[in-house]
Amino acid sequence: MKIVNILKKTPLRRFFERSPQVAVLPLYGVIAPGGNKLRGENLNLANLAEQIETAFKTKHLSAVALAINSPGGSPVQSSLIFDRIRQLADEKEVPVYAFAEDVMASGGYWLGLCADEIYINKNSVVGSIGVVSAGFGFPGLLEKAGVDRRLYSAGENKVKLDPFSPEKDEDIVWLKKIQGDIHDNFKELVKTRRGERLKKRKDKELFSGDVWIGERAVDLGLVDGIADLRSFCREKFGEKVNFKRVEGRQGLLARKLGISEQSLGADAVEAALQAIQSKAAWGRFGL
């Protein structure tokens, strides 16, 4: 009792009072395997594992906030990142909140489902709960160039959708079956994580692959409200809440040193293809 009274009257109270800590984990970019680890362009478990672990190791942690700006990408990497965040959140018994910026769509929304609650800007693009595959076909190009395509395989299903061979109807059926299975997994995850918040909306509307803005996404139950990360956390945890932004050491080092793609010796063709794919992913949402 005496110790309590002393603490109330002296500056020692500040030492014993710890401000709430919120670890901020930025999830920006296209979700895809690979990518240069030093630049860390792609969102995938290999590039994010250390950051996720660090976020949940924060001392006196009150919550983990996910700052999401992603048009989606690989369903496998989306699932792996989701699983790792949920595993640690459940182990540490720490709440997770997601905050969308420009886009939280497709795999980006999959990441948002990691959170116990999801908040967006009134202009954020949300949704695209579907599966898409894209590619090119060049059989006519080879013919014009006088090139004879020679492809040999053991196993009748070994080669499908070869870009230098004519498209086959059975290959399209095969691809759509895979897409359908992944779509079913995505839909089940949305239903499990959002539960009653979906407000009994029809599956046809929610899972059509369409996107919604701000209040419409709230009305559908896909997100919990309109709010920004800082204001939300200050209201929930108090004005003295501290934010710890957790970024990859390698990505941070690259920015600090001003390392460019050229100085990293990146393969020009691979870098160009990755840039085109990334631009196409963002372009689907007008960005």
pLDDT at 21: 94
Which residues, in sequence order, are CB contacts of 200 under 8 Å at separation 6+?
Answer: none
* Of 29, 118, 8, 121, nearest in space to 77 by CA: 29
Residue pLDDT, tens place only, 159-201: 665 666 666 666 667 667 777 788 888 889 999 999 888 876 6
What are the two backbone dihedrals, phi and then psi, of residue 7, each rounded to the nearest 5 degrees?
A: -65, -35
* d(C-alpha 189, C-alpha 111), whole Å: 11
pLDDT at 215: 92
pLDDT at 158: 60
* d(C-alpha 128, C-alpha 144), whole Å: 39
In order of their start, the domains of the chain are: 18-128+210-283 (3.90.226.10), 131-195 (no CATH)
Which residues of the chain have a pLDDT value below 70?
A: 1-17, 35-40, 130-172, 174-175, 200-202, 249-287
pLDDT at 115: 96
* d(C-alpha 30, C-alpha 35), whole Å: 10
* d(C-alpha 267, C-alpha 261), whole Å: 9
pLDDT at 157: 61
Which residues, in sequence order, are CB contacts of 148 under 8 Å at separation 6+?
Answer: 142
pLDDT at 207: 84
pTM: predicted TM-score of the whole model, two decimal places: 0.75
